[in-house]
Amino acid sequence: MIEKILNIIENADNWLVLTHEKPDGDTLGCAVALAHFGGRMSKRVLLGCPDQCPERYAFLQNIAPVVTMRCLPDGFPGTGGVAICIDTSNAARSVPGLLGGALECLIVNIDHHIDNEEYGLVNWVDPAASATGEMVTELLFQSRWGIDPDEATALYAAIVSDNGSFSFPSTTLKSHECAMKLLNAGASPNDIAEKLDSNLSVGALRLWGRAISRAETFARGVCALCWITLEDFEGTGTTRQDTENLVNFLLRIKGVRLAALCSEGIGWSDEREVRVSLRARAPFNARAVAGSFGGGGHDLASGCTLQLPISDALDAIRGNMEKHASARFSANQ
């Protein structure tokens, strides 16, 4: 598979590298590394993201610029070009219109989500990878172009942001092997950790405080939930980007194995909606809950969006989590 992909991208002059919507460190780190790699191969590269690059990952833009795009650029990458979709389980999460056939080029789909819909002409999906960053690390290492320090930095950032700095159950020996290779190629774990983790605004900290002050547990203490309203974002001068990783805090409550953060947002049709981030510890399954509301993701990290007022959304999520928990309780009896 790696050779096949290297062959395709080496033969294409124009690369459109695409992240998924609401980009995280994995999709951005991989895309930036690939765009930089393409630059070294003298390719014409455009790195597109359906949403703005979050402040936390702004340092990656020094390696390759990220262009916010809501539709596809005219005539690029064109026939003979290639679109590389990174960490994106379905085409609808990519630049809108991708599925509509507006893209006449080859689509290479590189991802580690188990529910990947294999929408590309070439689909490399490895659910055993703790981050798509592991896969792109392999890809670059196996190429005759190797990997440079900037690409190593971006890929190390991709890996640590998706596997909780090697703490999630998805972490494997392979994750550490990739890290070793990236350190060898010039990545600095300390610099990257500082850039990723020590960048909260005081407003973000206050927002977290509001959310955490509402934390509740239920279903015999195995479920936890909290929420944020649009007014909270306004009152603290923050955006939804400032909620990244907040849901993981709920899993730090002793005994909690299923956690949800519900945050109000404005949808594409200018209506209020509620975006839900879910986290689980096995055998609880975050994707099962997200899936009931049309969402998806990983078993232990998932998300969905509810077109409901916040109080109704909270009831719906709470109810579903409770049902999930009682199914687990009866399975254990």
**Where does this chain bind Mn ion (CB under 5 A)?**
26, 87, 132, 162
Smallest gap, in angstroms, from Cβ of residue 148 to Mn ion?
22
Q: Which is nearer to Mn ion, 26 or 150 (CB)?
A: 26
Q: Which is nearer to Mn ion, 151 or 162 (CB)?
A: 162
| 258-266/272-280 β-pairing | antiparallel
The CA-based diameter of the chain, rounded to the nearest angstrom, is 61
Q: Which is nearer to Mn ion, 87 or 151 (CB)?
A: 87
Smallest gap, in angstroms, from Cβ of residue 110 to Mn ion?
10
- Nearby residues of 160 by Cβ (< 8 Å), 6 or more positions away: 25, 166, 189, 192, 193, 196
Smallest gap, in angstroms, from Cβ of residue 177 to Mn ion?
18
DSSP 199: -
Smallest gap, in angstroms, from Cβ of residue 76 to Mn ion?
26
- Nearby residues of 56 by Cβ (< 8 Å), 6 or more positions away: 25, 196, 199, 241, 244
Smallest gap, in angstroms, from Cβ of residue 96 to Mn ion?
20
Q: Which is nearer to Mn ion, 132 or 236 (CB)?
A: 132
Q: Torsions phi, psi of 272, nearest 5?
A: -70, 140
Smallest gap, in angstroms, from Cβ of residue 156 to Mn ion?
14
Q: Which is nearer to Mn ion, 30 or 64 (CB)?
A: 30
Q: Which is nearer to Mn ion, 55 or 126 (CB)?
A: 126
Report the sign of the C-alpha dihedral through residues 158, 176, 37, 124, in that order: negative
Kindly calculate the radius of gyration of the chain based on its CA atoms and give it in whole angstroms: 20
- The closest residue (CB) to Mn ion is 26
| 216-218/122-125 β-pairing | unpaired
Smallest gap, in angstroms, from Cβ of residue 224 to Mn ion?
23
> CA 168 to CA 118: how far, in whole Å?
25
Q: Which is nearer to Mn ion, 28 or 83 (CB)?
A: 28
User: Dihedral, CA atoms, 93, 94, 95, 96, nearest 10 degrees?
Assistant: -40
Report the sign of the C-alpha dihedral through residues 214, 220, 221, 223, in that order: negative
Smallest gap, in angstroms, from Cβ of residue 74 to Mn ion?
30
| 216-218/223-228 β-pairing | antiparallel
For residues 267 and 230, is the Cβ–Cβ distance under 8 A? no
| Ramachandran bin of 229, using left for φ above 0, alpha for ψ from -120 to 50, beta for the remaining angles | beta
Q: Which is nearer to Mn ion, 87 or 299 (CB)?
A: 87
Structure tokens at 20: 């998924």
